[in-house]
Every structure is written in structure tokens, then in C-alpha cells.
Structure 1
Amino acid sequence: MFHKEPCDFHAGSPADLLSAALGATLYSPATRPRLADDVLKLARRGVVSMVLCLEDSIHDAEVEDAEANLVRQFEKLAEQGAETPLLFIRVREPEQIPDLVQRLGPAVRLLSGFVLPKFTEERGTPFLEALVDAESVSGHKLYAMPVLESPELLHLETRTATLTGIATTVDKYRDRVLALRLGVTDFCSGYGLRRSPDMTAYDVRIVAGVIADVVNVLGRADGTGFTITGPVWEYFRLQERMFKPQLRRSPFLEGSAEELRTTLIEHDMDGLLSEIALDRANGLLGKTCIHPSHVPPVHALSVVSHEEFSDARDILRPERDGGGVLRSAYTNKMNEARPHRAWAERTLLRAEVFGVAREDIGFVDLLTAGIPR
């Protein structure tokens, strides 16, 4: 199915490659008694990054037991020696970072880093300092993924100052920050909102406004920006619908693709697919996921189409360094060498980790190959 196969990568790969390769980052409560087995099973199913959560997904009274469980499960994974996804731990307090790294011992080699909740300049700096110290003591490279979800970021009167502070902080620790994650559920909770499976995050205007401002300040393509991942999709089971399905029938008319369309709609994935497309259009890459069924659609829609790849390569040809306009090889659009250059560079990076589809392969083919029915 590929014109260009996805590359192999691992926890020691360059940070820019890893940030693009996160894909569908699957969250799991750290309390799961068979967590090590789950991690290995999910790795075989194509999961490439996971967050093991000690924060919102577990009860306050469970934290101590969850930490002990994490240590046991990491030791079990280390003993088995099997390949794992990139593993991150979502903590509550900065003090947990050096404590967990010390308790993990040699198994820390399986840990890629920590997810830092409710990140602002004031709250985030102690987390990042703790991560740097833990890395220095352990001798093991650790990345941070701050979660942007605080009320100060949501509220209009404090948003600009909060974003400025966050930008200053993450820039200071740029070599440690792998990606920034959006906590859209927290944004919605601040106003007693919850989007339905018929709607994307971009239909909730107050959320869409925050996403736009975050990308504006922290997602620039001038070398100052970071990878910003898409918001969580909360649904994985059929709900009663108010609106028509969002998947047009025409792309699914060939072969057994109509069955795929039915499956997607039955599992509320038409809304997910729509949101993934809007994530990409708004400058986000990858997605927070809470169910394994979300992983194949995110990865399928991350594959670069042959047309995108062709355009990106043409734009980045050395003879185009001086600018200019050219007609695309597909003869259906204009490619401007200077304005489209940053897009082309990002597209080729995505092509490196997710591959390039063959010319005759579309997103329906990729979905059909990747989603069990």
C-alpha cells in the first residue's frame, strides 16, 4: 500500500522525529493490574506511544498503590525484554518524578518521559526542574509533554499572559519538551460543557478559540514552535444520534468499503475522523486517545498521500530556493515555493514516520486495512 514505507524509530531517535511519530497516544490508568501485558498487546496492535496516568484517571486515594503498581509493571516489562511503545507517566506533583525514576531502577530505560498536568509558567517550572534533576541522577534521557489545560489559559483576561509565560518556560527547556498536549476536556468543564459525538472540538467555539491561540503562540513554523497534539476523543460506543453521519457515502462505494463505513458510524468514529482532519488543518499533529479502537483511524489519516508527497518534494527542490510558483504534478493546484515551504518540510517529516501511500491508495483503503471489523 506504500510508495514510501514508514521508517523504523525508537526512544533514542531524534526528538523532532519522535514528536512527529507520537501518533495516537493512548492513555491508560496506572492502576491496571495487568498493565505490562496490556502494553505489549497494544504494541502488537500498532500503538506507538502510551501515557500511564497517575492523575485524573484514578481516584486520589489510589495514587500510592498506582505508583507501586507502575514500578512492578515496568520491572515485568524489563524482564520480558520485548519491544514497547514510547512510555510516559502522567504525574500529579513534581516530587513524583525523581521518586519514580529512583524506584524504577534499571527499568527506567523503558521510560521516555513524563506528562505534566495543568501546565503554566508558575506550575510548570518545578516539574521541568525535577525532570532535569532526575535525568542527571539516572543518566537516562527523559522528555516532558506539558498539558495545556489550566483555567488561566481558558479565561480570556489571563490567556495572553499565560501563553507568554508558557512560551518562555518551554523555550528555556526546549531540548526536554517533546510535544505540547491540549486538555480540551478541562476547557469544557470550566463552562459545564461536553461535546457530543456529533460535534468536534472545533464546533465548541470557546474551545476552538483557545486552540487557535495556542497554535498562534506555540505552534509557529519559524523555529520557535513545538508539536501540538490534537484533543482527546471521548467516545467509543454507539450513542443516540441527533444529526446525520459525517461520512459521505461516495468514497465507500467500492468493494467491502460500505461495511467499513457502517462500522465507523456505529462506533461514532465518523466524528473522530472529522476531528482528525480539522486537527491537521489547524496545525495539530497526533492525538490523545482513550480507547484502542481510535488508534487505527489516527494512524491511517496520518499517512501522507502520494499527492501531498509529490507537492512537498517539488516545493523543496534546490532550484526552488529562490522562490517562484509552479503547477503541481497533479495539475490541480498552485505550489508557491516560499509560502508553502514550512508545510512541505512538515509533510516530509510526517512521511518519514507514517509513510507515503501509493498513488492509487486513498484514505478508505488505509482505513479498511487498519480497522478490525
Structure 2
Amino acid sequence: MTISVEPVHKSLRYFDHLAAAGIERLFLNRPAPFSDSDPRERLAYALGATLYVPGTRPDLAATIARRCSDGVRSMVIDLEDAVADDELEAGLAQTVSALDALAGTSAGGMLLFVRTRTARDIGRLIDQLGPGVDALTGFVVPKFTADSEPSLAAVVDASSRVGKHLYVMPVLESPELVHGQTRDIQLRAIAELLNRYRTHVLAARIGATDMCGVYGIRRDRDLTIYDVAVIADAISGIVNYLGRRDDSGFVITGPVWEYFADHERMFRPMLRTTPFAEHDAVRFRQQLVSRDLDGLLREIALDRANGIHGKTVIHPSHVSPVNALSAVTHEEYLDALDITEAKTGGVRASTYGNKMNEAKPHRNWAEQVLIRASVFGVTNPGITFVDLLTELVTPS
């Protein structure tokens, strides 16, 4: 069926679940609202922590609404790995029901995606959707390769049928991308394919769990994905082909962190004690370490260092750390302004007087920071990651 849907300009913003006093204390510039009608690049940065939820949950709509009230701003309803083969039809029906129920609500303003198994499933879901089209942002395509064009075409067709611009997020996780012999061939073809559908491609996602499975690897919670050499090599290739800051590049989001419970540690925790001691938050640091969030925080920092923004998450406790570390610090913000306001190039000391800012080579970085600042806000002078984490992460 074809549904005619008038554009509805819904908007949410990050951290608006906090008390007004907390927002005022933390932020110089409060995060600005966003909606799925925003420019594509800004919307890609607004993904932040993207939480997955199985499509077979009987309380699916209520779960999404509850997560929205807790500060989650992007979610994926999973009809692939999280759903058994004999439950797919029930999951599809449950997904349609949940999206229809969320339409017109605050949670319907989130960035909501459905991860389907096949291109045909995209059309089947659209066939069954009613008002839920308004709540749907797009689709996630797993196991994406150079042969996945039918899924891209299905999303374009779905957009035309419902009268709304829908996005697609390919998940890069197939053996062809991990194997060194075929990686360049695949990535070159994938880059060309995605470029043809550029206006509908929101971001490229990295599926490191499936990549590890190719070699029978499961990384330990004391290590980041960048310590697994063969996977780090694949991530490097993906960023090289798809992360370029020109008309050929896309926003790339980071892989999932699998751990969220206490365990006996072999190695030293990854969080320094001093920053927490200075903020009288040593006990809070211990709670982060006991929940394996120190490893997550380390991996988020390495994601950013490698040109990756946002992250797939599978547990609600991971959402706040990812989003907290997406906020732009006052120092970063002033550096970005110094660089983008320079019209003739050159080098000058930063406003904070602790580094050199080069207008030309740092410009791409600065432009990304300012987009991120518009979505996640700019912290007040003196506010550190510890302040953000203690405000946003509720220890259990």
C-alpha cells in the first residue's frame, strides 16, 4: 500500500532528562534540538549511543518510550541476530505495532531504525505500517557487501512510497571485509555503491563482533577492539575508504562493547585515579570499573582518535558514557572556533595556551567538532568528563 504522510517536525535534544540546575552547571551552550528532518551530516552525529532492542519484546513500545525518557535518542529494533528464525514473523508484527503506537509521541521523535534480514523485509514492513511511518527514521542493513544494492534500492523505494525521506545504515562486518585478500576490492566497490545512494546513507556502522567471529576471537573485557590486531586492521581499512572528509566520505560509528557486569580482573583498570580524586569521586570510579565501563570509556576515546563517532550499544548502562563523552569541552570548542574563523591559514597558539592550532590541516577536525557541539552541547569551563559522568551515569 502507499501512504501519504505530511512532514511532521518533531524534535528532541540530548540531556534534557536532567534537571535544569544540572544542565546550567554543566553546559555553556546547551545541546540544540534535532529531528530526522535535519541535514544528513548533523543527523549522523546525533546518533550518539544507538541502543539495540529485540523486535520480539512483548513490551516493545513501552520499552522504547521508557528509554527515551531516560535520555536515549537513537534505537534500532533488531529483527536479525536478536530474533530466532521461527520468531521472525512475530517480531515483524510486533515492530509494526510498536512503531504505530509510538507515532505522535515524544519517543516517536527519536531516531528509530529497524534492522532487517533481507531487502524483501523492508518492503514487507512498509506494507504493514500505518502511522508508524512517522516514527521510522530508516533501516539497518546487516552483513553489508558490494552485493547489497537491493537493500539500498528497497529503502529508496520505501521512501517514495511513504512520502518521507528514509535512511539506511549499512553494517560492515562480513568476512570479505576482514580477509586481507579481498578487503580493498570490497571496500572500493562498497564506497562506489554507497556514493550512488549518498542522500539515503546516514552512516556506516562497524560490526566488530561478527568480524571477530570469522577468526573465532572474542576479545576480553580488559582489552579494547583496537587491541585485536586483525580487527583493528579492518577498521583502519574502513576508515581509509569511507571516512574521508571530502564528498566521498561518511560518518562511521563504532562497534559494540559487550560487557556490563562485575568480574575478576587480570589487568590494571583503564581509568586514572587522579581526575576522580580531584572531584571527590573515587567511589564513583570504583563503580565504573566494577561494571566494566572503564574499558568502554577507553574504547570510546580510541574510536574518536580513529575518526569514528557514536557507538552501537546493547545495554542501557552504556548509553550515558557514550553520550557524555560526545559533549564538546570548552577547550575543544574554543580551538574549533579559532581554526574555523581563520581565513588565511597559518599557525597560532590556542586560546588555552597549551597547543598550536593550524588553520588548514585542523579545519576538517574543527568543523566536525562544531557539528557535534550543536548536538551534544559545549561544557562550561572547568567541567571535565568526571563531572559529566557523575551527573549522567547512575551507579547501580
Task: Work out whether the TM-score is over 0.5.
Answer: yes
Q: Is the 8 A contact 2:108 2:135 kept in 1?
A: no
Instruction: For 1:355, give the aligned amino acid.
Output: G
Residue 127 of structure 1 is matched in structure 2 by 151
In the aligned structure 1, how far is the partner of 2:259 from the partner of 2:280?
25
Q: Which amino acid aligns with 1:21?
A: A
Letter in 2 for 1:36: A
What is the deviation of 1:79? 6.8
Answering whether residue 166 of structure 2 is matched by residue 148 of structure 1, we say no
Task: Give structure 2 stretches of 5+ with no counterpart.
Answer: 1-25
Deviation at 1:78, TM superposition (A): 2.7
Amino acid at match of 1:247: L
Q: Which residue of 1 aligns with 2:128?
A: 103
State the distance in 2 between where 1:306 and 1:321 align: 22
The one-letter code sitting in structure 1 at the alignment partner of 2:379 is: A
Q: Per the alignment, do residues 20 and 194 of structure 1 end up closer, same or farther by CA in structure 2, a change over 3 Å counting?
A: same
**Unmatched runs of 5 consecutive residues or more in structure 1:** none
Q: In structure 2, which of residues 344, 347, 358 is the aligned counterpart of residue 325 of structure 1?
A: 347
Aligned-pair CA distance for 1:255: 4.6
With structure 1 as the length reference, what TM-score do the two structures score? 0.97
Sequence identity (%): 53
Q: Distance in 2 between matches of 1:303 and 1:81?
A: 22
Range moving further from structure 2, 91-100 or 102-111 = 102-111
Whether the 8 Å CA contact 1:118–1:150 is kept in 2: the answer is yes
Q: Residues 120-145 of structure 1, C-alpha deviation per residue, up to 9 Å, x if partnerless? A: 111x2000111111111111211000
Deviations 1:168-227 (A, max 9, x none): 010000000000000100110000000111000000000100111100110001232100
Given that 1:43 and 1:84 are in contact with CA atoms closer than 8 Å, whether structure 2 keeps it comes out as no
Matched residues, number: 370
1:303 aligns with one of 327, 336, 340: 327
2:66 counterpart of 1:66: no
Q: Quick one: distance in 1 between partners of 2:381 and 2:68?
A: 29
1:265 and 2:289 are equivalent in the alignment: yes
Distance 1:302 1:80, change over 3 A: closer
Return the letter of the residue paired with 1:339.
Answer: P
Match of 1:49 in 2: 74
CA distance in 2, matches of 1:203, 1:182: 16
Which amino acid counterpart does residue 61 of structure 1 have in structure 2? D
Offset at residue 84 of structure 1 (A): 4.1
**C-alpha separation between the residues in 2 aligned to 1:225 and 1:200?**
25
C-alpha distance in 2, partners of 1:144/1:51?
A: 12
Is 2:260 the partner of 1:244?
no
Q: Distance in 2 between matches of 1:195 and 1:10?
A: 36
How far residue 60 of structure 1 moved from its aligned partner, in angstroms, is 1.2
2:104, 2:41 → 1: CA distance? Answer: 30
1:65-87: CA deviation from partner (whole Å, max 9, x where unpaired): 10011112122223756554211
Partner of 1:350: 372
Matched, 1:274 2:284: no
Q: What's the CA shift string for 1:7-55, capped at 9, x where partnerless?
A: 1011212211110110000001100000100001000111010000000
Query: Structure 2-normalised TM-score?
Result: 0.92
**Counterpart residue identity of residue 86, structure 2:** A
Mapped to 2, the partners of 1:67 and 1:232 lie a distance apart of: 24
Match of 2:381 in 1: 359
1:363 corresponds to which letter in structure 2? Answer: F
Letter in 2 for 1:325: V
Aligned partners of 2:253 and 2:309 also within 8 Å: yes
**Equivalent position amino acid for 2:314 in 1:** I
Structure 1 match to 2:251:
227
1:18 corresponds to 2:21:
no
Q: Out of 218, 222, 234, which is 1:210 matched to?
A: 234
CA offset at residue 238 of structure 1? Answer: 1.1
Q: Secondary structure at the match of 1:231?
A: coil
Q: Which aligned runs of 4 or more in structure 1 are off by greater than 2 angstroms?
A: 78-84
